[in-house]
A and B are shown apart, each in its own frame.
Chain A
Amino acid sequence: MSELLQQIINGISMGSIYALIALGYTMVYGILRFINFAHGDVFMVGAFVGYFVAPIVAPVVGGSGLAAAVLVMMISMLACALLGVTIEKLAYRPLRSRPKLTALITAIGVSLFLEYGGQLVFGPDPKPFPALIPSTMIVNSKFLVLSSNSLVVIGTALLLMVLLRHIIFRTRMGTAMRAVSYDHRAASLMGINIDSVISFTFALGSGLAAAAAILYASVYPSINPLMGLFPGLKAFVAAVLGGIGNLYGAVIGGMIIGLLETLVTGYISPIYRDAISFAVLILILLFRPAGILGRHETEKV
């Protein structure tokens, strides 16, 4: 019983990381009907920004855990927001009127560029990610090991999701995003600058990916330039599972993938840890291509 509880907490913690990444896929899809396959690599860059920034930031704010962690996360989010906006501007925008396949192939190109560029710049071997917040054991018994780490991950992710929901459903820019996702032309008739809304969407999604990366790296404190591959693919599956284009779907999908993965690892075999997401992907595509909350091209963000 308590082992199950343990697994569930770990699953939700992992799931909230996938959910944060999945939100980026789903928002960009909602606006452009396009899968940004470089999203997982933006996540990777987020981890590296954290890695390089942490030693500089920590002494400045007096080394205290929380302040340093928050600052590192914000810098990484900002850097990735900028990266996301730049990628869109340089790689995707010039192709916007071309067939979707062109942009998709370009996204794969951008992904490879970041992965191999990352190896060139950062070196291919894994680097130890600094422990930003010293993980304390909240419960450490024979039955349940609960570190502050998983609670920090879940709490931070939750906070960011609430913030995102506020931006999208309560602000002028968020409303414009929903308008653009419904109809570009109608939105431009309102005076909405579509390009700015698209840039903003990439900034939001990439910022969330960076936050996810900092959380991920504090759970698995070894980072490398290819680390974005699997979390990226799994978050993509999560977004499709939840119903791509749907924000709540991305969160639900992320949680399901996180939980499934943890449970499969714990109760069946760790060998299937990565395979399970792809099994899920095949199942959804076969039986419910629109995903759990998907409603075939209606109400997408």
Chain B
Amino acid sequence: MKQFLRNLKVVSILLVLLVAFLMVGLLVQQKRSQRELSVAVGENKQALRQRYMRAGSIYSADGVILAHSKNGEREYAADPALARACLHLVGDYTHRLPYGIESVYMPELLGTSRSFFTQLFLDFKKQGFTGNDLILTVDSKLMLKADSLLSDYSGSIVMFNYRSGDILALVSSPRLYPQDVIDWTNIVDSSLFNRALHGRYLPGSTFKIIPTAALLSDGKLDVTMTVDCKGKEPIVPAGAKETLTPKGHGRVGLAQAFPKSCNAFFGQLAVELGRERLLEQAESFGFNQELFIDRLKVATSTIDLTEPGIGALSWVGVGQPIGRDRLTLSPVHLAMLSGAIANEGVLMKPHLLRQEIDPTGVAGRERESEQYSICCDQHIAAAIEKLMLDTVSSGTGKRAYRDGLEIAGKTGTAEMIDSDGKSVVNSLFTGYLISETHPIAIAVVLEDENRAAAQLAGDLLSYAAKLDLP
């Protein structure tokens, strides 16, 4: 009897533990799936349509409807061009664009993220049925303009307020009309890919900002160093050389080399800085670090220097690594490089979501600006700003120059091998408008194009400068 009872007790304890495990496990699984599984490949479209029938609306910062539910249908921006421009950002209810606001903020839009008592309160007011509205930081006019400028290019444009961190525009091309995604028709190649968030590009000459910052902040190196640029003749064996100016720039210091984007100078600078110093400076500007815009994950910009030899190192200095070296940059990060310089070396945390409003009209707390990281000292940022202004006024970025506007910037042209093994030249521009009313940083990346990025940036910044931004 004693033994039998003991056996029973042991088994009982085991099963009590099992029950506890199961109950706790259930709670954990529920919480975890609320966090991680709100979107999954291959979800039933009909069920999703049913669910989004009561979803809240999505507004742009200037109050234009980007998505709303009406008469049992989910509808996107009334202007088809705007709906198309916002597709990558807003997403669609079928979750075929799993990184759109519709997918990532589904719990808020459907109201399932509310606490029990909030929901009870809303149900009591007979308003618990619908989800919350979301107000984004993007400006519909800027989105439209950026999208129309991209026209037939493959590429992306990112604009953000470098004082507050608000994302003002985020467009990617090629793009689709939401209805085509929902019906799964007329799907253009690579059009579902959000280049602005997930593109990984070679930075090209835009990367030169990093060795510049390193040179200016380094106490040991001579800031007044000069290099004799011989064009096609590399300074170090198999090192960086000029591709566009075969005759070379002659003897140049930083003040001339930066606006002219002299490869010989920055190649040599990289060699003198050394791998570690370069890596350290790149990481202080956000390379090799995970980046999120609210809940949206941005492709991580990477720098990985494993190729031996100073030749390879000099190529890294001009943003065009060779061999096993890796250097990639996302368009969002490209805009943030300028944003940090513009904001005295302090990078603001990027935001896309301004406010959440519940069905009774009670608005949630407005998102406050916060610092994200300090990239460099204030005086270094000021020195780089000077160089970037020169670039636009008299250097490689002249196409971005607009009378009456103070635009700072840096261009880049990067040769990349695409997935088909074909060599493609991409045109990049990163810059900003020096203005207290319109503190806008911008990044433009155009694929298979070698110079238009600066032009587009200039057009867009001059357009933005006339807008009345909230």
Asked if chains A and B come from one complex, the reply is no
Q: Which residues of A contact B (CB under 8 A)?
A: none
